[in-house]
Chains A and B, each alone.
Chain A
Amino acid sequence: MPSAPNSFRTGPDERGHFGIFGGRYVAETLMPLILELEKAYNDAKADPSFQNELDYLLEHYAGRPSPLYFAKRLTEKLGGAKIYFKRDELNHTGSHKINNVLGQVLMAKRMGKTRVIAETGAGQHGVATATACALFDIPCVVFMGAVDVERQAPNVVRMNMLGAEVRAVTAGSATLKDAMNEALRDWVATCENTFYCIGTVAGPHPYPAMVRDFQCVIGNETRVQMMKAEGRLPDTLVACIGGGSNAMGLFHPFLDDKGVRLVGVEAGGKGVETGEHAASLTGGRPGVLHGNRTYLLQDEEGQITEAHSISAGLDYPGIGPEHSWLKEMGRIEYVSATDAEALAAFQMLCKLEGIIPALEPAHALGHVIKLAPTLPKDNLLVMNLCGRGDKDVFAVAERLGMKI
């Protein structure tokens, strides 16, 4: 194992690598565009007016900062750690995805692009992209696996209402990875006028770093809010992981605070031991897909295997490359929660706190339910409640045999 760096926050290197992970494994056609994006993003980072415009939108349009809420009843029920929720589900459009999308759509404008495309799983990133594109009057096409179009139907309707075109992708397993393939195929043909707005900390460099930077608002706010609430940093942070953007956004600002324990929760599907899961870090190994090297679910030869999760947003056989690196460095613990654990957590949160969570953070909660009772009462635990469950109510009702 490589030795620990002085800081975990300096990556990636100039070639977009986090250790052996990351990089730019894309078709040559896209390479010049990706280099152009990298340059434009570096310019934007150095331009205060870019950050000002983004900050303004985050505050007045998305509704940031999101509250840091002490979940008293849940804490009492679990009888251990003091549990706080970072309430990114209260953002406009209902999840953390808007943080990143506002940044990227500003980049699209800055680069003079006249069309935006996105992939989406749960539909939250698609809805956020459709929203920002409506706001900035940019045509938007969202690629979504046909299976997800079915199970996240409310979000398809929302995207259509917002003026976006949703293209159902039937290739492969017809879920998130296939939507990403199709978005990349579109982009190769349209890259001269089109901006590809990737929804998580994956894809070729500079996306993993750029999306992370845009999501770090979550962790930066949490730092300030926890200092105000408790006068010190939190002890434990927990977040769910699909591609890893909400988790990275919460964790990254704390990577160099050694005392802060970081726990990423992947989707365990029917159980990691059954092979039917989406836990790339637990059940996969390094490979190359979608422009970067990272942990992937794959067979012996390197054919990508299908992920399985009740949550469309976590149903992805890969993970952002920086997570792969942080796993190997031992800085973040990665665990998993099953479909059943997520469903139980979903119901518990509705009843105990009056919050209907998205199925994605319900996985994080599934782990908190196991973890919190093992921790002392003065352990300050923050869970990223990164999405609300409106999109999931029909699917969950069906699973629970409720009549609609």
Chain B
Amino acid sequence: MNNDTNRGSIRPEQFQKIDRSNYVFERIERKRLTAWQDIRYRLVSNKLAMTGFYIMCVVLLFAIFAPMISPHDHFTNDLPNANQAPSWQHLFGTDDLGRDMFERTWKGAQISLFVGFAAALIDLIIGIIYGGIMGYYGGKVDEAMNRFAEIIYAIPHLLVTILLLVVMEPSLTTIIVAMSITGWINMAWIVRGQIMQLKNQEYALASKALGAGAMRIIFRHLIPNAMGPILVTLTLTVPSAIFTEAFLSFLGLGVQSPVASWGTMINDGVKSMTLYPWRLMFPALFLSLMMFAFNVFGDGLRDAFDPKLKK
């Protein structure tokens, strides 16, 4: 019916032969942005995240180099010069024993950052292994391992720390161990979720079909593809560990004098807050700055990895 009239209106003259002699069926495509380049682009164009990044870099540089070049040291007492206000001689003033606060602030930064990074690293290692196995095997293995994680997670954090301090001396190691006992669980859950999503991807199945074992599939194929959320979690673990250390040190459960961390310095500073505000101000300022910097950078990183999540 209709078809016939349509067909009648198409005439041979309307057709033109296309020369396909130079036609390339498939050629290698122009280099597209890799996923990483794409992420970097989104991160660099996020001003707040980059502000955080630069603050982190500056504080890190000062923490490393300032104590090296400063003429003072952080533990020698100099009682005649106790509690001095900031001056050219002592940029951040001195504390009740006359120790240079500039020097101590950056020494404290070293301790705080070390705790932050060490805790994050331990979380990362345990979390990846535990979460990777949970997520990959699933089923009963997952259920049992998850139950164990939930039990540990349910124990109050502070209680674990205080109990541990009964057995171990208050020290840097004790604090890091205390934080790691519960800290890895969050990372393990993040990794588990990622692995569960990724394990049925065809590239993982292809590897399994070739005869790859679970460990090869988890660590060669799945973890590298879950790096985004893992990095984000890592970045957000650092400030929370720094804060926990500061909090414990503030309570007197942390590092012991003469070693200083931001937490112990704040503890000292609070006592004489009204008379010598700089003793509180500088460690508190840098602690807050670092928390802010890590958190906005971590958020920026998350948005860069998954732009759909952006609020």
Report if A and B associate in a common complex.
no
A contact set with B: CB distance below 8 Å = none
B contact set with A: CB distance below 8 Å = none
